[in-house]
């Protein structure tokens, strides 16, 4: 398979220039002024279009068993939606039940993901702790290409990671060269606020944001950052949604810590007024954690992306249809948490970020692809346009428009949180592993075409972290008896 892309402008996280790109057998083999179209299988004329690294969504939940049901997009429909939006790789989550063997859970998820149409990888959640968990973390890092472990500080009585678990797990991450990540929300406070709202008979979706105010997020973020600092590990915060959390990240990084922040396309676009909607299903469709925030937090997130305090954008794609959301009809705490967004992320970031002047095109590439590849240690195989990089590309038409809607989406869910929004700047083609996977409205790729991507452990972060940590540890004083 030899695919030639001609006449386009290449946009990477650091450069913009005109060149043709030749993809052969899944990788980029030539980037040149004029590549002759002899012996090629297919030619795409990208005149007037931009060639960018395919999106990497570092936070999705396909087919997740959660809150008594299972997310409706499986690895087939979810990755088709990703490709239709210009995303060529997802990093999903293995979430073992408490007491479930980690390797068993990992193999379960690998089995579900065999249907994936784009490349994928897994973070593994630490939902309980004993010696077997510690041992299995090592096997996952050394034999199965896992270099990140997730800790849910929320969801008490379910998958919540308590401080003692995080201390044990972050320490283990340091030994193994893996990076800990956290969902930062104080699960005890959330539980307390939920119960007190229910006692006052406030049971609808409007109670959801009241049970998870910004301080619940920033307290947990500060705690995780403090644990990481004490132990000497880096830290990645998923779905930062509150300005107070950004303050915590800035303080930590200015004081020498390696703290990375992710935000979601949805949090950048939608505010908490959705929970006041008179239609119960409309409000419930927006129930996700952390919840949508008052408008001022949105601008704080854009500022975080601009300043580099936030490095990545994701979706937390976890789709539940109306029937599933209705499980919480009489009690908001039973509404399955999650929204769909994997198809729309790049368009939303472009339309609301690049078109408004908040992000340059190069910054767009950084926050939708390259930074995730770097942080999760798969750069420059992913997130780059260079010789020998995987030929995962999006050919972007910056002038074309599309109205986002449940009618034309590829997700199986029956709702679109961006319904009716017109996007200017959309993917014309998505190239995955050197082949056209999506073209003008149609996903063309075969089921199961996606590959599992191994992510090797880190070396370099840990040398510097270890050195600075050594300086902090006091030497024991020898005294005469
Ligand atoms: Zn999530």
Q: 358 lies in a domain? A: yes
Specify the pLDDT at position 79: 98
| Packing angle of the helix pair 131-144, 102-112 (nearest 10 deg) | 40
**Under DSSP, is residue 313 helix (H, G, I), strand (E, B) or coil?**
strand
Domain that holds residue 91: 53-386+453-460
CA 60 to ligand 1 centroid distance, Å: 6
The pLDDT value recorded for residue 481 is 67
Q: What is the pLDDT of residue 470?
A: 67
What's the gap in Å between 382 CA and the centre of ligand 1?
Answer: 22
* pLDDT of amino acid 468: 65
Residue matched to tokens 């939606």: 81
Question: Is residue 349 a part of any domain in this protein?
Answer: yes
**Distance of CA 64 from the midpoint of ligand 1 (Å):** 10
Cα of 316 vs centre of ligand 1, distance in Å, is 5
State the Cα–Cα distance between residues 338 and 318, nearest whole angstrom: 5
Residue 61 CA to ligand 1 centre (angstroms): 6
Residues of 267-301 as b/e, b for ≥16 C-beta within 10 angstroms? bbbbebebbeeeebbbbbbbbbbbbbbeeebbebb
Global pTM? 0.96
Give the Å distance between the CA of 46 and the centre of ligand 1.
35
Task: Tally the domains of the chain.
Answer: 1
425 in a structural domain: no
User: Can you give the CATH number for the domain in which 167 is found?
Assistant: 3.20.20.140
Residue 459 has what pLDDT? 79
Rounded to the nearest whole angstrom, what is the distance from the C-alpha of residue 169 to the centroid of ligand 1?
19
Coil, helix or strand at residue 170: helix
Upper half-sphere CA count for residue 181 (Cβ side, 13 Å): 25
Distance CA 238, CA 254 (A): 20
Positive or negative CA dihedral for 397, 403, 404, 406? negative
Residue 431 pairs in a beta bridge with 393, 436
Helix intervals (H) in 178-321:
187-199, 207-210, 214-231, 243-254, 265-269, 280-285, 295-307
Q: How much distance in Å is there from the Cα of 394 to the middle of ligand 1?
A: 25
Residue carrying the six token digits 């908490």: 272
Q: Which parts of the chain have pLDDT scores under 70?
A: 460, 464-476, 481
* C-alpha 59 – ligand 1 centre gap (Å): 6
474 CA distance to ligand 1 middle (Å) = 38
181 occurs within a structural domain: yes
Q: Residue 304's pLDDT is what?
A: 98
Residue 238 within a domain: yes
Give a yes or no: residue 476 inside a domain. no
CA of residue 91 relative to chain centroid, distance: 7
In a domain? residue 180: yes
**Looking at residue 440, what is its pLDDT?**
87
Q: How far is CA 146 from CA 136, 139, 170, 239, 381, in A?
A: 11, 9, 15, 20, 16
Two tokens, residue 242: 């509150």
Q: Given this model, what pLDDT does residue 475 score?
A: 65
Ligand 1: centre distance to CA 45 (Å): 38
User: What is the Å distance from ligand 1's center to 58 Cα?
Assistant: 10
Q: Ligand 1 centroid vs 123 CA: distance in angstroms? A: 11
Q: Output the CA 227–ligand 1 centroid distance in Å.
A: 21
CA distance 178 to 456: 9
User: Cα of 131 to ligand 1 centre, how many Å?
Assistant: 26
What is the per-residue pLDDT for 410?
A: 97
Please check whether residue 443 is in contact with residue 437, taking contact to mean a CB–CB distance below 8 angstroms: yes
Interval between CA 283 and ligand 1 midpoint (Å): 19
How much of the chain exceeds pLDDT 70, in percent? 96
Ligand 1 is an ion; its neighbours by CB within 5 Å are: 316
Strand partners, 30: 22
17 falls within a domain: no
Q: Which of 24, 55, 15, 14 is nearest to 395 (CA)?
A: 55
Residue 99 region by backbone torsions, left for phi larger than 0, else alpha for psi between -120 and 50, else beta: left
Q: What token pair was written down for 228?
A: 């990481």
395-440: pLDDT as tens digits: 999 999 999 999 999 999 999 999 999 999 999 999 999 999 999 8
pLDDT (tens digit per residue) in 76-117:
999 999 999 999 999 999 999 999 999 999 999 999 999 999
């Amino acid at each position: 398979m030899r695919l030639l892309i001609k006449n386009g402008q290449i946009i990477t996280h650091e450069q913009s220039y005109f060149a043709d790109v030749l993809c052969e057998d899944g990788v980029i083999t030539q980037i040149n002024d004029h590549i002759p179209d002899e012996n090629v299988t297919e030619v795409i004329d990208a005149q007037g279009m931009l060639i960018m690294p395919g999106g990497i969504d570092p936070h999705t939940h396909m087919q997740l068993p959660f809150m008594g049901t299972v997310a409706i997009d499986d690895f087939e429909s979810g990755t088709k939606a990703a490709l239709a939006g210009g995303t060529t790789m997802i990093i999903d989550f293995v979430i073992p039940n408490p007491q479930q063997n980690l390797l068993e859970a990992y193999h379960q998820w690998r089995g579900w993901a065999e249907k994936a149409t784009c490349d994928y990888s897994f973070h593994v959640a630490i939902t309980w702790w004993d010696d077997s968990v510690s041992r299995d973390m090592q096997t996952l890092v050394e034999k199965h290409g896992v270099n990140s472990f997730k800790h849910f500080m929320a969801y008490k009585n379910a998958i919540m990671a308590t401080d003692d678990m995080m201390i044990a797990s972050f320490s283990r991450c340091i030994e193994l060269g893996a990076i800990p990540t956290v969902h930062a929300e104080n699960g005890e406070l959330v539980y307390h606020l939920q119960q007190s709202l229910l006692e006052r008979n406030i049971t609808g979706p409007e109670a959801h944001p009241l049970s998870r105010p910004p301080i619940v997020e920033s307290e947990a973020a500060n705690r995780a950052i403090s644990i990481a600092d004490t132990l000497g590990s880096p830290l990645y915060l998923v779905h930062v949604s509150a300005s107070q959390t950004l303050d915590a990240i800035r303080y930590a990084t200015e004081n020498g810590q390696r703290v990375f922040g992710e935000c979601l396309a949805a949090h950048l676009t939608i505010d908490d007024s959705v929970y006041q909607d008179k239609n119960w299903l409309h409000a419930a469709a927006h129930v996700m954690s952390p919840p949508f925030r008052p408008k001022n937090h949105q601008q704080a997130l854009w500022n975080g992306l601009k300043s580099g305090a936030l490095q990545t954008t994701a979706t937390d794609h976890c789709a539940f249809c109306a029937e599933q959301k209705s499980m919480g009809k009489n009690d908001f705490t039973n509404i399955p948490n999650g929204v769909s967004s994997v198809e729309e992320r790049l368009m939303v970031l472009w339309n609301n970020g690049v078109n408004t002047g908040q992000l340059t095109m190069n910054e767009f590439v950084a926050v939708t692809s390259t930074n995730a590849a770097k942080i999760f240690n798969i750069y420059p195989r992913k997130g780059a346009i260079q010789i020998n990089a995987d030929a995962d590309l999006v050919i972007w038409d910056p002038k074309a428009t599309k109205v986002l809607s449940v009618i034309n989406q590829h997700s199986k869910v029956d709702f679109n949180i961006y319904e009716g929004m017109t996007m200017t700047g959309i993917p014309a083609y998505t190239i995955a592993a050197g082949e056209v996977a999506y073209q003008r409205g149609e996903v063309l790729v075969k089921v199961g075409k996606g590959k599992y991507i191994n992510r090797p452990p880190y070396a370099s972060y840990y040398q510097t972290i270890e050195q600075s940590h050594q300086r902090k540890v006091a030497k024991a004083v020898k005294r005469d008896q």
